[in-house]
Chain A
């Protein structure tokens, strides 16, 4: 048996004590013996006694008196007392005994089994009580320890919660906030009373409150953590942005016991974000309004942005051109060369410029001049390229035309020198043959030869005059009747018209007059009529028409001259090029300058020259029409003179 307990036996008769000892020995408990009340008290004070077995009638201190004394001591109030008595077994005695705290009576003669059973019950009771008490003490100790720990941890937590840079709070499982850290009060300038429960809602910006409340209430119900960003009013009345979070705290069973929340001031980030957004917006607006095409590429060479002018140009969506998609739009002949420049520039992170052809929405390839510079991010790290591109097709053409016109000017100067050097001896030779042919001593054969020579000289003179000159007889524009100019030209060409068997139709408005230089105008119509005759076959028709008109688009009054023929027509593929300098369909026979010069002259008059060529059942019909405004401004005439003189 574990933990034997003490049983005190009190009797003045040693024989009885001995007999009890024998009876109770089997229980295996400690048996203490006292032969008097006094001795019993001493033992009681020295030991913890579970059961007292005492004789009622003892000499100096009887059982009842002893029980009274035992009970007086608080330590023994619960000690079980069993009386053994041979006499005094009246009910009055029993009551007296119970009043003194006896728990049982045993009469003499003692039945050993009964005594043993009764003592055993109380011994066991005592043992259990003892165990309970021990348990209780343990528990109390543990509770005390735990309380201390909790207090320490709570205080640690609050110190922590007060030292973090965030605002923090704790709420009940139903979302009612019962604690805020000091920072919360410092920031909001509120007090505990105002903040109790849902008081925090007064501090949320009204524009955000509904959303915030809906979000947080959803969290309370679903046990999911909560997050939102919204402005909270500070004690100065200003709102600042806070990133707010709440997480549920569960106990071991999984039940939510609290919500722990924080609010982190993200105003600076928000403002920075706002600035980035605004600057991004500004960039985009600017980029989209810019008169150039712009792209951005990342450090991996892939394009990440195209402005509106770019997309308008290619006629594609942003998604189509992003990444490497734009490469589809680059002219296949230019792509490789462009990529070499492009890749090299990315590899060494140097600005670059390139010229290449890019397909426009209408399918036409246009020349692009692109200039790109590397981009650095805020850490000075390479972050890609920004590039602006311009359609330089017109410029390229202008440059080409300029080169051509410079060539022409140089050629003109050269022509002038050559003309002078040829014309002088030409005149002398012409005069010599003029005299020779009329010399009386010439026989028929010599006459014939001189005649031929004179004819050839006339041809030579004509060529130098026609091809090496822009000969003009007057310095001031004069009124020019177009019918006179045209008749003059037709007269000059009459031999060719006759020789080609061309039927000529004239339809003149007799008074159609413009201000200008007759020789210039003669040159224009000589060109147009000469071309028409050249294109027209035997039996074809040439129609020359002059009429006063008002220009359809400019509403200016003027004169329209149209020259139509039924000749070979103009191939549509040449339509765009026939006014270009040095463009000719006559192989080596043409200079390729006729129409170009003609258009230049008409443009000086602020007029226009255009043509239509149609395939008809019987062949082709081509019509060149020239419009010359009736009154040209003096400024342009001045300009025209300057141009002609140069």
Chain B
């Protein structure tokens, strides 16, 4: 898989975790953009190509779940992973493609991102094939 062409938008209201996560994903080979709120994230998504959104769940203002809902409304094919310190899957997390605990660690994070991306590509191919 070619991670260097993959653009991930990382969303979190907390600066330190956001920076570290960005570094980890870059180390893993992804191209990473950041946003510190849902509103900012939507602006980024609207302005350029994004392959996947990785958003914190609990954020001031619109939550990650709200962001996921809006993204799926405007860009239904854009995969989004919700990422949180809470241990239970919140009831409104259903819009996202995946809900992932933050404590799974960087290796798992990358694995799951790849898995979601490959699932999305398969769907895309299936769709284009049909067209």
A471: chain B residues at CB < 8 Å are 87-89, 101
22 contacts between A and B (CB under 8 A): A415-B87, A420-B84, A423-B84, A423-B85, A424-B17, A424-B85, A425-B17, A428-B14, A428-B16, A428-B20, A431-B23, A431-B24, A435-B20, A435-B24, A464-B103, A465-B87, A465-B101, A468-B87, A471-B87, A471-B89, A472-B89, A473-B99
| Cross-chain contact A458 with B105 (CB below 8 angstroms) | yes
Using known A-B contacts A427-B102, A464-B103, A475-B94, determine if residue A432 contacts B84 with beta carbons closer than 8 Å. no
Q: Find A424's partner among B14, B88, B89, B105 (CB 8 Å cutoff).
A: B14
Smallest CB separation, B95 vs chain A (Å): 12
| Cross-chain contact A438 with B27 (CB below 8 angstroms) | yes
Kindly state whether residue A645 has any CB partner on chain B within 8 Å: yes
A424: chain B residues at CB < 8 Å are 14, 17, 85, 102
| Cross-chain contact B105 with A461 (CB below 8 angstroms) | yes
Smallest CB separation, A12 vs chain B (Å): 172
Kindly state whether residue B31 has any CB partner on chain A within 8 Å: no
Smallest CB separation, B122 vs chain A (Å): 21
Kindly state whether residue B106 has any CB partner on chain A within 8 Å: yes
Q: Residue of B at shortest CB range from A421?
A: B85
A645: chain B residues at CB < 8 Å are 88, 91
Kindly state whether residue A469 has any CB partner on chain B within 8 Å: yes
B102: chain A residues at CB < 8 Å are 423-424, 426-427
Chain A residues with CB under 8 Å of chain B are 415-416, 419-428, 430-432, 434-435, 438, 458, 461, 464-465, 468-473, 475, 645
B24: chain A residues at CB < 8 Å are 431, 434-435
Smallest CB separation, A102 vs chain B (Å): 160
B105: chain A residues at CB < 8 Å are 430, 434, 458, 461
- Give Cα A470–Cα B87 distance, bound, in whole angstroms: 7
| Cross-chain contact A420 with B17 (CB below 8 angstroms) | no
B20: chain A residues at CB < 8 Å are 428, 431-432, 435
Using known A-B contacts A424-B102, A430-B105, A431-B106, determine if residue A419 contacts B94 with beta carbons closer than 8 Å. no
- Give Cα A411–Cα B85 distance, bound, in whole angstroms: 17
Kindly state whether residue B58 has any CB partner on chain A within 8 Å: yes
Smallest CB separation, A583 vs chain B (Å): 25
Q: Residue of B at shortest CB range from A434?
A: B106
B21: chain A residues at CB < 8 Å are 427-428, 431
| Cross-chain contact B88 with A420 (CB below 8 angstroms) | no
| Cross-chain contact B58 with A420 (CB below 8 angstroms) | yes
In the A-B complex, the 6 residue pairs with the closest CB atoms: A469-B87, A423-B85, A427-B102, A461-B103, A431-B20, A428-B17
Q: Residue of B at shortest CB range from A412?
A: B88
B84: chain A residues at CB < 8 Å are 420, 423
- Give Cα A420–Cα B101 distance, bound, in whole angstroms: 10
Q: Find A423's partner among B89, B99, B103 (CB 8 Å cutoff).
A: B103
- Give Cα A430–Cα B83 distance, bound, in whole angstroms: 15
A427: chain B residues at CB < 8 Å are 17, 21, 85, 102-103
| Cross-chain contact A416 with B87 (CB below 8 angstroms) | yes
| Cross-chain contact A435 with B23 (CB below 8 angstroms) | yes
- Give Cα A425–Cα B14 distance, bound, in whole angstroms: 10
- Give Cα A419–Cα B21 distance, bound, in whole angstroms: 19
Q: Quick one: CB contact mask for B74-112 with A, threshold 8 Å, 1 for yes?
A: 000000000011111101001000010111111000000
- Give Cα A523–Cα B54 distance, bound, in whole angstroms: 28
| Cross-chain contact B27 with A465 (CB below 8 angstroms) | no
- Give Cα A434–Cα B24 distance, bound, in whole angstroms: 8
B94: chain A residues at CB < 8 Å are 475
Q: Residue of B at shortest CB range from A432?
A: B20
A472: chain B residues at CB < 8 Å are 88-89
Q: Quick one: CB contact mask for B1-28 with A, threshold 8 Å, 1 for yes?
A: 0000000000000101100110110010
A435: chain B residues at CB < 8 Å are 20, 23-24, 27
Q: Residue of B at shortest CB range from A467?
A: B87
A475: chain B residues at CB < 8 Å are 89, 94
Smallest CB separation, A447 vs chain B (Å): 16
Q: Quick one: CB contact mask for B105-125 with A, threshold 8 Å, 1 for yes?
A: 110000000000000000000
Starting from the known contacts A416-B88, A431-B24, 19 additional A-B residue pairs (CB-CB under 8 Å) come to A416-B86, A420-B85, A421-B85, A422-B85, A423-B85, A423-B102, A427-B21, A428-B14, A428-B21, A431-B17, A431-B21, A431-B106, A438-B27, A458-B105, A461-B103, A461-B104, A465-B103, A473-B99, A475-B89
Among A428, A435, A458, A471: residue with most chain B CB under 10 A:
A428
Q: Residue of B at shortest CB range from A423?
A: B85
Q: Residue of B at shortest CB range from A431?
A: B20
- Give Cα A422–Cα B102 distance, bound, in whole angstroms: 10
| Cross-chain contact B106 with A473 (CB below 8 angstroms) | no
A416: chain B residues at CB < 8 Å are 86-88
- Give Cα A428–Cα B101 distance, bound, in whole angstroms: 13
A438: chain B residues at CB < 8 Å are 27
A423: chain B residues at CB < 8 Å are 84-87, 101-103
Smallest CB separation, B3 vs chain A (Å): 16
- Give Cα A382–Cα B31 distance, bound, in whole angstroms: 93
Smallest CB separation, A250 vs chain B (Å): 105
- Give Cα A514–Cα B80 distance, bound, in whole angstroms: 31
Q: Residue of A at shortest CB range from B100?
A: A473
B104: chain A residues at CB < 8 Å are 461
A469: chain B residues at CB < 8 Å are 87-88
Q: Residue of B at shortest CB range from A424?
A: B85
Q: Find A473's partner among B58, B89, B91 (CB 8 Å cutoff).
A: B89
B23: chain A residues at CB < 8 Å are 431, 435
Q: Residue of A at shortest CB range from B106?
A: A434
Smallest CB separation, A310 vs chain B (Å): 50
- Give Cα A408–Cα B60 distance, bound, in whole angstroms: 29
Smallest CB separation, A280 vs chain B (Å): 63
A465: chain B residues at CB < 8 Å are 87, 101, 103
Smallest CB separation, A517 vs chain B (Å): 11
Smallest CB separation, B53 vs chain A (Å): 17
Smallest CB separation, A307 vs chain B (Å): 52
B103: chain A residues at CB < 8 Å are 423, 426-427, 430, 461, 464-465
Smallest CB separation, B91 vs chain A (Å): 7
Smallest CB separation, B9 vs chain A (Å): 17
- Give Cα A458–Cα B106 distance, bound, in whole angstroms: 11
A432: chain B residues at CB < 8 Å are 20
B87: chain A residues at CB < 8 Å are 415-416, 419-420, 423, 464-465, 468-471
- Give Cα A427–Cα B20 distance, bound, in whole angstroms: 9
Using known A-B contacts A426-B102, A427-B17, A471-B101, determine if residue A420 contacts B86 with beta carbons closer than 8 Å. yes
Q: Residue of B at shortest CB range from A462?
A: B103
- Give Cα A424–Cα B104 distance, bound, in whole angstroms: 12
